[in-house]
Structure 1
């Protein structure tokens, strides 16, 4: 039963390998004939490259994202990233506003405690130490929100740079995982009888 299953897998591998070669040849033929095959792709030798004339440079991508967040992603044709970029800014802004609001509230309460008074009745049962510690807690979180803002701004600039840098990389089928059948003859087989063993060969090109 195992032999039959392996034979079927071997046959499917042969069919898929032949079909992949046919499709690859067909795609190259379409490109040579000048047909519309997608966004800015040209053939150089046996490898496909994106046409850099219609793409922005990585330096411009960084500058655009630094000036207007998401601009670099838009020029890289990564429209789906723009909501993520502004969603991140909104999230950081809400986190900052929340901690800043409570920091000011506990700061006022702590200053009132130093004068022997109560600023907010809802905190009258809290000890002075609890008020001071809570004030410091929200202050630290507010400062972290400021750091997170600049970190996120830098992150979206780096993202735009990487997309622009990778836009001209090889996009041919040769980068994919290649799985094809093969025949293996054991080295230890005797000279009188060498039983070939069917196998699947996996090639990963990076």
Structure 2
């Protein structure tokens, strides 16, 4: 009976040390396998969109995509330039037509008849309205770009998940095959 108790105590001591050793090894494995988690801020896209709404390009600066700022200002600035230019020419044609209706013939467009003045007004009015639409569209696109870019910055994209082109030989025909492979490494 004494031997049985001694053997039981021996197994208990050996078993408990192996359990503690196993727990110690599990902690090491967990620490080694665990990826560093990035802190995800759900308000980051909203902040970027708000900054871009306040000042175009500020959301891109917030996302640290500085190369997009000249594109934003180029698109909005070009559209705004064409809006202002078309608006000025529209008013020139309209004022010339109004003066001609009042009986004056001393305008800058004496070489144009009334129908050409009306056609010029319609042309520049249409261009002015389209340019205003482009200004608003590029402004909205600026806000959407900042929002989407800030949301995409929070995704973890690493080498474990990739789609790559692959060139490999066919075993039967010995010709090279081209394709895409989807790789996911654990």
C-alpha offsets along residues 6-64 of structure 1, whole Å, 9 cap, x if unaligned? xxxxxxxxxxxxxxxxxxxxxxxxxx99xxxxxxxxx965xx98x34589621211111
Match for 2:153 among 143, 146, 167?
A: 167
Match for 2:89 among 99, 102, 105?
A: 102
**Structure-2 residue corresponding to 1:124:** 110
**Structure-2 residue corresponding to 1:138:** 124
Distance in 2 (alpha carbons) for counterparts of 1:170 and 1:176:
15
C-alpha offsets along residues 79-101 of structure 1, whole Å, 9 cap, x if unaligned? 01111111222211210111111
Provide the aligned length of Structure 1 versus Structure 2. Answer: 152
TM-score between the two structures when normalised by the length of structure 1: 0.63
Mapped contact 1:179–1:202 kept (Cα < 8 A):
yes
Unpaired runs of 5+ residues, structure 2, are: 1-30
Distance in 2 (alpha carbons) for counterparts of 1:143 and 1:59:
30
- CA distance change for structure 1 residues 133 and 52 in 2, over 3 Å: closer, same or farther? farther
Larger RCO (CA under 8 A, 6+ residues apart): 1
- Pair member with larger Rg: 2
Distance in 2 (alpha carbons) for counterparts of 1:66 and 1:89:
13
Distance in 2 (alpha carbons) for counterparts of 1:148 and 1:203:
39
**Structure-2 residue corresponding to 1:202:** 179
C-alpha offsets along residues 152-201 of structure 1, whole Å, 9 cap, x if unaligned? 1000111111211211223212323052646635xxxxxxxxxx857557
TM-score between the two structures when normalised by the length of structure 2: 0.69
Q: CA RMSD in A?
A: 3.0
- CA distance change for structure 1 residues 62 and 165 in 2, over 3 Å: closer, same or farther? same
Unpaired runs of 5+ residues, structure 1, are: 1-31, 34-42, 186-195
Alignment of 1:148-167 (within 5 A): 148-167=134-153
Distance in 2 (alpha carbons) for counterparts of 1:44 and 1:130:
75
